[in-house]
Structure 1
Amino acid sequence: MRLLATSDLHAHILPWDDLADRPAPDRGLAQVASLIAQARAEVPGSLLLDNGDFLNGSPLSDHATEVAEQDRSHRHPMIAGMNRLGYDAATLGNHELSNGLGHLRRALSQAEFPVVATNLDRINPADGKRRAYLPRQILLHRVLTDQHGQQHRLVIGVLGFLPPQTALWERRHMAGTLAARGILAAARAEVPRLRRAGADLVIALSHSGLGDGVCEDADENVSAALSALDGIDAVIAGHTHQAFPGEGGGRPARPLVMPGFFGSHLGVIDLSLDHDGSGWRVAGHRTEVRPVSRRRGPQGLVEALVQTDAAIAASAAEDLAAMRAQAAIPVGECAVALHSYFALIGHSPVQTLLAEAQMRNMRRALNGKPEAALPMLVAVAPFKAGGRGGPGNYTAIPPGPLTARNIADLYIHPNSPVALRITGRELADWLERSVSLFNRIAPGTEDSPLIDPDFPAYNFDMIHGLTFRIDLSQPARFDCLGRQVNPASRRVTGMSRLGRPVAPDEEFVLVTNSYRSSGGAGFAGTEPARVVLEQARHLRRILQDHVAQTGRVAPTGAADWGFAPMPGTTVTFDTAPGAAELAKDIAGLEVMGLQPTGFLRFRLRL
């Protein structure tokens, strides 16, 4: 039996980058659809499964959400495409809840495939008891043909899991209504029920990263540990936007694939089944991920390996045309290039613009409140800074007119602003969590990699309004998951505001976003009691209003932080090829050359 899987599609249908408005042959449901057709044709029987985060996360899905608010009968283009492909089952990812439960209900009502959510519960407000929000398990009855042409009836049980942290990240939508249980505990409870219900095989759709195989039940990334549970025959993993087999992770206990993101790969698990007289068992397996594109040549150029599926592309054509017309609406102008090429080394006009917009908005919102007398700071992280998204995953907007598309590119998530009351001590901890992005650098060494590739750039919060230095000779206090590994370490030095040192007990208003204030990535001082004000408006709308009201924005690039000097020491830093012409603005940078990955490598003198 063959299992085919997608994950983290994020409503990308065409091989096109809608934010940068350029071809992107490395993505799209219409691309992976060709691989699905090919893989189905190779075997007599298969299942097509999606592992979550399919509904939200692109300009197309944002447009669909807005239209559905006015027209409840509007067909969601991603659901339409998945219906056309004939998915057998899917589960939810954390981002399925990002636009609210009403939007999710409307979209799922259009699905012609079952959606399972094993560890997501509805809370009864009357008695506080938990009940299933969606089916906790499903049984798929299929007839499969063996190598001798004989047909067999199989019952395949499917479970689906999302990270339990979703209850924190989406607190504004879930509080008092939904709750998420630990993945491993939910699986241990449900697998025996599935077997008793007649399941010959059990497949786990796990919207969770691999993890290290030794996990606590409440951990975010537990798919490797899940594969070791008795009664589970295969696992589809996701959430961390990786491809497996192929990107680390060791050897899971049972068949497991992680099929990339945005439709970059199709996961394939082939199970050889034997019947021992009492039931079916997995006698052997083969796993692979098939890519829709590849990089070639010394510059790492991307070329498609498949043809675009015309029927899938046509199913979204009307929505895409309307979205693009809306994206072209002018908003304002910018006097400088807006780019995120150097956001991780302290030079990003994008971050400055976002901080200015949030500062202006929150000052108005807090006017007349006691907290208005406190110093205000803004925490901003880069959403597009390369990493697993590749060398195309940067913002790069030339000087001139700004459109609604540019605003969406500058702020890609549906977050809202939140003001926290926080102390100087907690600010220092907040920064230590952020600067764990950097590898430890030994003084006097040459060309050591600066960035820890496992650390997500969206957790690199820099606090605008503070001046400080980062001592890279010290070990990181936190690991990439936010776990404290060196409690005594201090990389952040000389933290000051307006030339005056920040005292540990000094109080501030820190403006952040709803994801961070809900506990996203485990930053200090984000408890609900610290919230001074939470606004419902999306930060993207606040940014758009700021640009429109200003007319012509001109944010500076240089930040008020930097690295502590380390004479005779150099590090390497990868960014997009388009950064070469802008590097002259940054002291100590030297171009080293293009890499096979498509990134441009720089040397930075510390």
Structure 2
Amino acid sequence: MLRILQTTDLHAHALAFDYNNNNFFARRGLSRSALQIENAKAIDQPCLLFDTGDFLQGSPIADRLAQEPETHHDTHPMITAMNLLGYDAATIGNHDLDFGIDHLAASLSQANFPFVSANLLLPPHVASQLKRYVILERAFVGYDTPLRIGVTGCLPSITLKDAAGLDPSIACEPIAPALSRAIADMKREGVDIVIVLAHCGREAIEAEITPLHGVDVVLGGHTHELLPAPKQGVVEVSQPQTPVMISGALGEYVGQIDLMFSQGDDAWRIESAEMQMKQNAPKAPESVEIVDALAQDHDETVLAVAKPLGQTTSQIDSFFALVANNSGLQLLAETFENAVKAKLEDTRWSHLPVLSVAAPVRTGGLNGATHFCHIPAGTIRLRDLDKIYSFPDTLCALLITGKALRVWLEMSASIFNQIPIGSQGQALLNPSFPGYLFDVIPQLTYEIDLSKPALFNERRERLKNSGRRISALTYQGKPVADDTLFVLAASSFRARGVLPEMDEADVPRLILDTGQSCRSILSSYIVNAATLDLKTKPSWRFKPTPNASAHFLTSQRAESKPDCGIEFVRETSQGFAEMRICLSGRPNQRGLASGGPQLADFA
């Protein structure tokens, strides 16, 4: 038997500490997973430990190393923890590229284990840090011939399109042909089995990886899915099926595959596999080794993120950010708008109206019931910035037409399921869409008609038999014409990333990259304001759908708003609050003059 253990999408959660809320996670953190890993390794059979990417970014203990040049440590905290646990190999995720190639290369050079990717090509001066594949050998008691294990990796080829500001000498090839070449090369070197460390979700794995000849095991990631689900217990996989495992995120789960072999004619063959997903027990003991090794990093981070920036007179949260106008998003949009206006003074674009796009980064979903923005009235600290904007993107500006704006908003509105007239109790949100795809442009007013089918899927591809959900689109009270020109302030992730499918002539044009991070611009705005007195302004709303309501999940901290058509239904087993939203329109709702839930005064 060969045991394979997996973590993925750790997002720098080396410890079980929530720096954004200054307390401990109940289950998260690689230091909590360490006990499961150690117990799983305590067998008299070979055991391998892998990670499938997005480990360097996502928590202040790691992010501040890249964002604050004066902060210096000999070893990246995540690499320290992974070295202590004895990883055998890992691959690169898209967010591992967020802080640039030099930061990535320096971090990889500190590891005691190899990194593999068949389709990510780094520039020559750092290429040695990333191998196309590695071959591991493990011996079985009673057998003379060791098992030769080929390990390669991949990440979505869309990665470079989505990641702004990367070294242009970096390339990311399509997955299938790159993997096929690596597998063929490993087979020529005599491997018995091939394991693919894929920073890809289940859908991409099934479409591009498992159909490839020679793939024996796939360990996935990127989407924060759980496959298999923990409640399934031990899942048996028989040949010719390919075991596929995705172990959630943030160090809360450890995936385990036990491969059963037979040997004949000097060749090893997989007979079957048993998979299971193991969740950390609540408040499971942390690894003393990891905690001690990162004590200085931890203490410095706690002190740094406690720095006060300003005050807010009201709570800022994302509890209803996907169903209503939201003060936190409008704060972000106003910050972006003002910064771009200042940069474009005395330029050829200064006469154009400036809009700005913002999206919520914490809306629960696969990240769990605690993954929401919640900043109480009072002091805003550095750690609170992560709750409003979590990523190291820079602020950019696009030249965009009214026609392209409509398409952009149609993509955003595709996050919702179709809600027919008379429908009661259907899920409002399509779970395939992460919340951060819900863009709002608060300088505009518009309606979203949920009775129409969505125009796009979560991959931004136009759907057949799709509808048009966006209507009544206006700017300063006037309808937005297709040929009207605007400047749109947007993060580099949006401005340089993959846009929704549209005619080539309508694709927005990048006219400015400020080179300043969105987080630093937001921080400066809060410091200069001293005290924020946020008032949510009317912008978008759902167009009334007669006799219709829908359900959505939010934080248990959220309160019912019966006067605005939102009522608590129940607490779910995952810890969310399930809410019902009335979509048929209520005459006493504040905001835009008529129609469905506007909730214009929500924070």
Say if 2:61 and 2:297, in contact at 8 Å, map to a contact too. yes
Say if 1:224 and 1:253, in contact at 8 Å, map to a contact too. no
Say if 1:120 and 1:133, in contact at 8 Å, map to a contact too. no
Task: Sort the Cα spacing of 1:123 and 1:43 in 2 relative to 1 into closer, same or farther, 3 A.
Answer: same
Q: Compute the displacement of 1:525 (Å).
A: 8.7
Say if 2:394 and 2:516, in contact at 8 Å, map to a contact too. yes
1:136 to 125, 132, 140: 132
Asked whether 1:241 is paired with 2:224, we answer yes
Aligned to 2:596: none
Task: Sort the Cα spacing of 1:561 and 1:267 in 2 relative to 1 into closer, same or farther, 3 A.
Answer: same
Residues of 2 paired with 1:452 and 1:115: CA distance?
A: 35
Q: How does 1:204-219 map to 2 (within 5 A)?
A: 204-211=196-203
Aligned to 1:6: 7
Aligned to 1:473: 451
Residues of 1 paired with 2:376 and 2:49: CA distance?
A: 42
1:276 to 251, 264, 270: 264
Say if 1:346 and 1:559, in contact at 8 Å, map to a contact too. no
Task: Sort the Cα spacing of 1:206 and 1:348 in 2 relative to 1 into closer, same or farther, 3 A.
Answer: same
1:596 to 565, 573, 582: 573
Q: Compute the displacement of 1:224 (Å).
A: 5.6
Residues of 2 paired with 1:505 and 1:66: CA distance?
A: 40
Asked whether 1:434 is paired with 2:417, we answer no
Identity, % of aligned positions: 34
Report the residue type matching 1:288 in the other structure: Q
Asked whether 1:321 is paired with 2:299, we answer yes
Q: Compute the displacement of 1:167 (Å).
A: 1.3
Q: How does 1:92-491 map to 2 (within 5 A)?
A: 92-122=92-122, 134-145=130-141, 149-150=142-143, 152-175=145-168, 177-211=169-203, 221-223=204-206, 225-246=208-229, 253-293=241-281, 303-304=282-283, 306-486=284-464, 489-491=467-469
Task: Sort the Cα spacing of 1:326 and 1:124 in 2 relative to 1 into closer, same or farther, 3 A.
Answer: closer
Per-residue CA deviation, residues 82-109 of structure 1 (Å, 9 max, x unaligned), is: 0011111111111111000111111111
Q: Give the CA RMSD over aligned residues.
A: 2.4
Say if 2:65 and 2:71, in contact at 8 Å, map to a contact too. no
Per-residue CA deviation, residues 424-445 of structure 1 (Å, 9 max, x unaligned), is: 0000000000000111011112
Per-residue CA deviation, residues 150-194 of structure 1 (Å, 9 max, x unaligned), is: 56422211101111111112241132x110011111111111110
Task: Sort the Cα spacing of 1:590 and 1:440 in 2 relative to 1 into closer, same or farther, 3 A.
Answer: same
Residues of 2 paired with 1:329 and 1:390: CA distance?
A: 27
Q: Compute the displacement of 1:195 (Å).
A: 1.0
Report the residue type matching 2:360 in the other structure: P
Q: Compute the displacement of 1:143 (Å).
A: 2.1
Say if 2:243 and 2:273, in contact at 8 Å, map to a contact too. yes
Per-residue CA deviation, residues 514-571 of structure 1 (Å, 9 max, x unaligned), is: 1111224646599997011012111110000000011111222354110111232111
Q: Compute the displacement of 1:131 (Å).
A: 7.8
Task: Sort the Cα spacing of 1:65 and 1:113 in 2 relative to 1 into closer, same or farther, 3 A.
Answer: same
Greater alpha carbon shift after TM alignment, 132-141 vs 261-270 = 132-141
Say if 2:425 and 2:550, in contact at 8 Å, map to a contact too. yes
Q: Compute the displacement of 1:141 (Å).
A: 2.3
Q: Compute the displacement of 1:288 (Å).
A: 1.4
Residues of 2 paired with 1:152 and 1:522: CA distance?
A: 53
Say if 2:236 and 2:273, in contact at 8 Å, map to a contact too. no
Task: Sort the Cα spacing of 1:73 and 1:155 in 2 relative to 1 into closer, same or farther, 3 A.
Answer: same
Task: Sort the Cα spacing of 1:30 and 1:123 in 2 relative to 1 into closer, same or farther, 3 A.
Answer: closer
Asked whether 1:508 is paired with 2:486, we answer yes
Per-residue CA deviation, residues 453-487 of structure 1 (Å, 9 max, x unaligned), is: 11111111111211011111100011122221146
Aligned to 1:75: 75
Report the residue type matching 1:40 in the other structure: K
Residues of 2 paired with 1:357 and 1:524: CA distance?
A: 28
Greater alpha carbon shift after TM alignment, 230-239 vs 520-529 = 520-529
How many matched pairs?
A: 576
Per-residue CA deviation, residues 230-265 of structure 1 (Å, 9 max, x unaligned), is: 111111011000110129999993011111101121
Say if 1:235 and 1:257, in contact at 8 Å, map to a contact too. yes
3-state SS in 2 of match to 1:420: strand
Say if 1:516 and 1:523, in contact at 8 Å, map to a contact too. no
Say if 1:467 and 1:561, in contact at 8 Å, map to a contact too. yes
Aligned to 1:566: 545
Residues of 2 paired with 1:144 and 1:316: CA distance?
A: 36
Greater alpha carbon shift after TM alignment, 409-418 vs 528-537 = 528-537
Please give the TM-score of this superposition, normalised by the length of structure 2: 0.91
Say if 1:575 and 1:599, in contact at 8 Å, map to a contact too. yes
Residues of 1 paired with 2:277 and 2:207: CA distance?
A: 17
Report the residue type matching 1:18 in the other structure: Y
Report the residue type matching 1:569 in the other structure: A
Q: Compute the displacement of 1:342 (Å).
A: 0.4
Aligned to 2:587: none
Residues of 2 paired with 1:101 and 1:370: CA distance?
A: 34
Asked whether 1:492 is paired with 2:458, we answer no
Aligned to 2:63: 62
Say if 2:108 and 2:129, in contact at 8 Å, map to a contact too. no
Task: Sort the Cα spacing of 1:480 and 1:250 in 2 relative to 1 into closer, same or farther, 3 A.
Answer: farther
Task: Sort the Cα spacing of 1:250 and 1:463 in 2 relative to 1 into closer, same or farther, 3 A.
Answer: farther
Q: Compute the displacement of 1:326 (Å).
A: 0.5
Say if 1:121 and 1:132, in contact at 8 Å, map to a contact too. no
Report the residue type matching 1:157 in the other structure: G
Q: How does 1:516-555 map to 2 (within 5 A)?
A: 516-520=494-498, 522=500, 530-555=509-534
3-state SS in 2 of match to 1:469: strand
Which consecutive segments of 4 or more residues in structure 1 shift more than 6 A? 130-133, 247-252, 525-529
Q: Which runs of 5+ in 2 are unaligned?
A: 584-603
Task: Sort the Cα spacing of 1:558 and 1:494 in 2 relative to 1 into closer, same or farther, 3 A.
Answer: same
Residues of 2 paired with 1:344 and 1:419: CA distance?
A: 24
Aligned to 1:23: 24
Report the residue type matching 1:568 in the other structure: N
Residues of 2 paired with 1:308 and 1:133: CA distance?
A: 30
Task: Sort the Cα spacing of 1:338 and 1:182 in 2 relative to 1 into closer, same or farther, 3 A.
Answer: same
Aligned to 1:37: 38
3-state SS in 2 of match to 1:229: coil
Please give the TM-score of this superposition, normalised by the length of structure 1: 0.91
Task: Sort the Cα spacing of 1:164 and 1:492 in 2 relative to 1 into closer, same or farther, 3 A.
Answer: same
